[in-house]
Amino acid sequence: MAPRVRFAPSPTGRLHVGNVRTALFAYLAARAAGGTFVLRIEDTDRRRYDPDALADIYDNLTWLGLRWDEGPGAGGPHAPYIQSERVAGHRAVAERLVASGHAYRCYCDAARLERVRATHNGYDRRCRNLTPEQRSRHEEGGAAPVIRFRVPLEGSTRYDDLLLGSIERRNSDINPDPVLLKSDGFPTYHLAAIADDHDMAISHVLRAQEWVSSAPLHLLIFAACGWQPPRYAHLPAVNGPDGKKLGKRHGATAVHEFRRRGILPEALVNYLALLGWSAGDDREFFSLAELERCFGIDRLGRAGAVFDHQKLEWFNGHYIRGLPPARLAVALRPYLRDAGIDVAEGAAETALAELLRERISVLDEAPARAAFLGPDRDLPAAELVPRRLTAAAAATILQQASPLLEHLPSGDGEHALEDRLRELARAQGVKFGDLMMTIRMATTGSKVSPPLFGSLRVLGEQRLHARLARALHTLQAAAEEA
């Protein structure tokens, strides 16, 4: 049967690279097997609920190309896919479990629980066996009860994890009687996820490894409900450089932050896919479409992985270089504009994109590389004379090169121009590199620039010659003083 795999984030914070990798693997597991990818929003924590986070989830999954077959916006036979809209069902399940003796009402308040936790490992099960009299006394007191699952005291629970293999745990080691239904009437994860996975006929659950320890509990709940559980695969964590679970302390980790900096979705997908999965060979580059074809749970790793920004950026550089210049130009627009760099749309910005694409690995690096397009400014002689030359020599070079730069050729014409400049260098007895550096410093105001002829074309002949004249003036003054 075709698998049904879900991704079930909770809208309590921006979508995180760790979460999104789980989403990717779940998506791929579904696609690779011709199954269905389901998105479900787990918003049962009303205190931490954040509508911005919800929008962020939809927005970024879409941006990455992880389209869900069923879920909010897409609909589906098991709607609604927003958990808070399913609480009536969750409550009914909880009541059923109470009726069948698999769960019970607990009247302990927060203060007591905190005290108990200090000395016990979790809840002390005080309300597990209340007499009807005790119970009605509590009910009359008006305390809103929670419903707790009655974890068996004896025996053990075992299951086969798709990734970890056989996992077995003594029932006495399971979290003692966790809450299923909170006093506000909302289910906890333990109830909601199980009930919804069942209702939505989920066949495979790929989730973070932090859930391994509660997996046996979940199996117990499935059994108590008389339901068939899905297969589980617990994915290893994504860690920061310190080896700890990736979090706020580790710099940018939210998907939207990468996106804002100019990480391409194909790069993030490619990088994340290789963080914990491999095709079994030496391939490094995978498109989403390829991954959909060759992904397999059996090739997932079991150990945690450190998120490496440098490698992500290397992938990103690769994908930037693979972009057609016209498309890169469009992608670059907002970054350049925000930095106050104006380039006419069309040929000029495409030419600029061509210059930048081998020089940036993240889009937001573009302004620094295109800084030569900033306002004209007066440069001191020190910034106009290459190391091996004098001000007088630099002045002569500019003077003689200016006419050659009158009309900037493109294509093959560049070679002719270069030949003439080489000739000039020879005549002046300077190295061609030094001659070029002299022009570079005068026209770009920097010792570092993209290839000069292309840069000058983007700059425009008018500004080019204004800068040449200005620099020449400065150099001549400096030469006289010397």
Task: Just list the catalytic residues.
Answer: 248
* Site for RNA contains 236 (CB under 7 A): yes
Q: How far is the CB of 1 from RNA (least distance, A)?
A: 24
Q: How far is the CB of 391 from RNA (least distance, A)?
A: 20
The CA-to-CA distance between both ends of the chain, in Å, stands at 86
Angle, helix 461-481 to helix 391-401, in steps of 10 degrees: 150
- Considering the complex, state which of residue 19 and residue 476 has its C-beta at the smaller distance from RNA: 19
* Site for RNA contains 248 (CB under 7 A): no
Pick from 449, 459, 468, 471 the residue near RNA by CB under 7 A. Answer: 449
Per CB under 7 A, contacts with RNA among 279-318 are 280-282, 284, 299, 301-306, 308, 310-311, 314, 317-318
> Which one of 127-135, 261-269, 329-337, 449-457 is the stretch in contact with RNA (CB under 7 A)?
449-457
Nearest to residue 63, comparing CAs of 285, 332, 257, 240? 257
Nearest to residue 310, comparing CAs of 260, 353, 362, 363? 362
Are 272 and 215 in contact by the 8 Å Cβ rule? The answer is no
Per CB under 7 A, contacts with RNA among 58-97 are none
403: buried, middle or exposed (CB in 10 Å: 19+, 13-18, 0-12)?
exposed
- Considering the complex, state which of residue 262 and residue 476 has its C-beta at the smaller distance from RNA: 262
- Considering the complex, state which of residue 203 and residue 214 has its C-beta at the smaller distance from RNA: 214
* Site for RNA contains 214 (CB under 7 A): yes
Q: How far is the CB of 284 from RNA (least distance, A)?
A: 5
Pick from 94, 450, 467, 478 the residue near RNA by CB under 7 A. Answer: 450
Are 56 and 256 in contact by the 8 Å Cβ rule? The answer is yes
Strands 165-170, 103-106: pairing kind: unpaired
Per-residue binding letters, 172-191, with RNA (x by CB under 7 A): -x-x--xx--xxx-xxxx--
Angle, helix 215-225 to helix 87-99, in steps of 10 degrees: 80
Q: How far apart are CA 249 and CA 240, in angstroms?
A: 9
Pick from 36, 60, 157, 209 the residue near RNA by CB under 7 A. Answer: 209
Amino acid in the structure at residue 432: F
> Which token pair is 38?
């389901």
* Site for RNA contains 338 (CB under 7 A): no
- Considering the complex, state which of residue 76 and residue 454 has its C-beta at the smaller distance from RNA: 454
* Site for RNA contains 119 (CB under 7 A): no
| Per-residue CA distances from 174 to 111, 151, 219 (Å) | 23, 8, 11
Positions of E strands within 330-396: none
Pick from 45, 59, 257, 290 the residue near RNA by CB under 7 A. Answer: 45
Note the Cα 316 to chain centre separation in Å.
12
- Considering the complex, state which of residue 41 and residue 476 has its C-beta at the smaller distance from RNA: 41
> Which one of 61-69, 103-111, 286-294, 393-401 is the stretch in contact with RNA (CB under 7 A)?
103-111
* Site for RNA contains 230 (CB under 7 A): no
- Considering the complex, state which of residue 197 and residue 476 has its C-beta at the smaller distance from RNA: 197
Strands 204-208, 4-7: pairing kind: parallel
| Length of the chain in terms of residues written | 482
Q: Using alpha carbons only, how large is the chain's radius of gyration in Å?
A: 32
* Site for RNA contains 123 (CB under 7 A): yes
Pick from 139, 153, 228, 244 the residue near RNA by CB under 7 A. Answer: 244
Q: How many residues bind RNA (CB under 7 A)?
A: 88
> Which one of 72-80, 93-101, 207-215, 389-397 is the stretch in contact with RNA (CB under 7 A)?
207-215
Q: How far apart are CA 297 and CA 320, in angstroms?
A: 30
Per CB under 7 A, contacts with RNA among 398-427 are 414, 418
